Amino acid sequence: MEPRIPSIFSQFRLGAPQIHTKMGLLLPYQLKKSPASLLFSKQGLLAVVYCLVFIYICTLFFGSNKSRDNFFAENHECVNRKTESLEFDELYKRLPEVVNQCSVRGRLNIQGFTNTDETKYHVMPTEYALQPRHDCTIISLGVGKDVEAEKQMLAALPHCKFFGADPVNDTNADIYPEVGKFFNVAVGGSNGIMRANVLEDQYKFKDVPYIDIAAFMRNLVKKTVVDQIMIDIEHAEYPMLPFLLKTGQMYKEGVTICQINIEVHNPSPEQKQEFYKYYHLMMAENQYTMLTASTIIGHIRLFMINHADEECHQRYIGDIYDRPYTTTTQKPF
């Protein structure tokens, strides 16, 4: 009974010197440091100033980055705001003006390539796109006996391979090989043989094979990334429009188009509705941004870029934009 209590005390007594020893070890260490702490506080003050400057720079950096992030979104929002209430007739009429008002094209390095009656636009490649491991594919649907724009493109983009298709063989089959491979076929939205009035030496009816753009990519071009496609196919673009959506057969087969120059030909009332439907699906997908638009005798020429696709982004947009909305399939605005 008695020996137990002292034994506890003795443990305390044994413990106490140990604590003192520790404090004794700590004390000189702190005392040694305290003269230096005066100097350290000056450094500390400097550090605080540096930190504030750093935070200020960070704010500037992220602030400007934020506006960079958003420029395609701003473009989208602007076009949406100005067109959402328009009926199909009005939309077709107003769209070119709206596209040009909202366009963020000033942010991109766009070059024009002119043939005898029009200009095709192309966002020039980033350093990434010019790396030899990335090929470049440029397609002309509807050659129209004129390859001036393609020739200029080839001069500016010598790493690109060109593929052209036109139901008219005459002249096109002779001149297109100056830039690339020619296919004597009508590319559109379905497959078959059509009796077409085509200009050879004179206008005459001829059986012309036609294939849809997904089959054209799969069987003839055989590339999965299209850097540029120029579509001028005399109203056959209307049945092709659904193929240019993410829900279309071509995208399902893994083909991505980075840039599109398309001539939307003076539509019939039904075609205006087809365009209207395509337009709203395209806006909802938020994959393409329309950068330029012009009108000529009822046709609309549109130039657009795929801002959402990873590969297209790296090839033609790069660091100036961070693709903030691409992880979600759709971003409603």
Ligand X SMILES: *[C@@H]1O[C@H](CO)[C@@H](O)[C@H](O)[C@H]1NC(C)=O
Using the minimum distance from each CB to ligand X, give the nearer residue, 65 or 184.
184
Q: Which stretch binds ligand X (CB under 6 A): 71-79, 169-177, 275-283, 301-309?
A: 169-177
Using the minimum distance from each CB to ligand X, give the nearer residue, 22 or 181.
181
With CB under 6 A as the rule, give the number of residues binding ligand X. 4
CA 237 – CA 288 distance, rounded (Å): 17
Least CB distance to ligand X at residue 169 (A)? 4
Among 80, 115, 184, 295, the residue binding ligand X under the rule CB under 6 A is: 184
Using the minimum distance from each CB to ligand X, give the nearer residue, 183 or 279.
183
Q: Which stretch binds ligand X (CB under 6 A): 111-119, 155-163, 168-176, 285-293?
A: 168-176
Least CB distance to ligand X at residue 186 (A)? 13
Least CB distance to ligand X at residue 128 (A)? 38
> What is the 3-class SS of the chain, one letter each residue?
CCCHHHHHHHHHHHHHHHHHHHHHHHHHHHHHHHHHHHHHHHHHHHHHHHHHHHHHHHHHHHHHHHHHHCHHHHHHHHHHHHHCCCCHHHHHHHHHHHHHHHCCHHHCCEEEEECCCCEEEEECCCHHHHCCCCCEEEEEECCCCCCHHHHHHHHHCCCEEEEEECCCCCCHHHHHHHCEEEECCEEECCCEEEEEEEECCCEEEEEEEEEEHHHHHHHHHCCCEECEEEECCCCCHHHHHHHHCCCCHHHHCCCEECEEEEEECCCCHHHHHHHHHHHHHHHHHCCEEEEEEEEECCEEEEEEEECCCHHHHHHHCHHHCCCCCCCCCCCCC
198 binds ligand X (CB under 6 A): no
Going from the C-alpha of 40 to that of each of 32, 35, 48, 49, 321, the distances in angstroms are 13, 9, 12, 14, 43
Among 78, 86, 173, 194, the residue binding ligand X under the rule CB under 6 A is: 173
90 binds ligand X (CB under 6 A): no
Q: Which stretch binds ligand X (CB under 6 A): 2-10, 38-46, 143-151, 166-174?
A: 166-174
Q: Which stretch binds ligand X (CB under 6 A): 68-76, 167-175, 217-225, 257-265?
A: 167-175
Residues 6+ apart with CB under 8 A from 92: 267, 272, 275, 276, 300
Least CB distance to ligand X at residue 207 (A)? 11
Using the minimum distance from each CB to ligand X, give the nearer residue, 135 or 174.
174
Among 169, 224, 273, 294, the residue binding ligand X under the rule CB under 6 A is: 169
Using the minimum distance from each CB to ligand X, give the nearer residue, 173 or 220.
173
Using the minimum distance from each CB to ligand X, give the nearer residue, 184 or 224.
184
Using the minimum distance from each CB to ligand X, give the nearer residue, 83 or 172.
172
Least CB distance to ligand X at residue 172 (A)? 8
174 binds ligand X (CB under 6 A): yes
Residues 131-150 that bind ligand X (CB under 6 A): none
CA 71 – CA 48 distance, rounded (Å): 35
Residues found near ligand X in the complex (CB under 6 A):
169, 173-174, 184
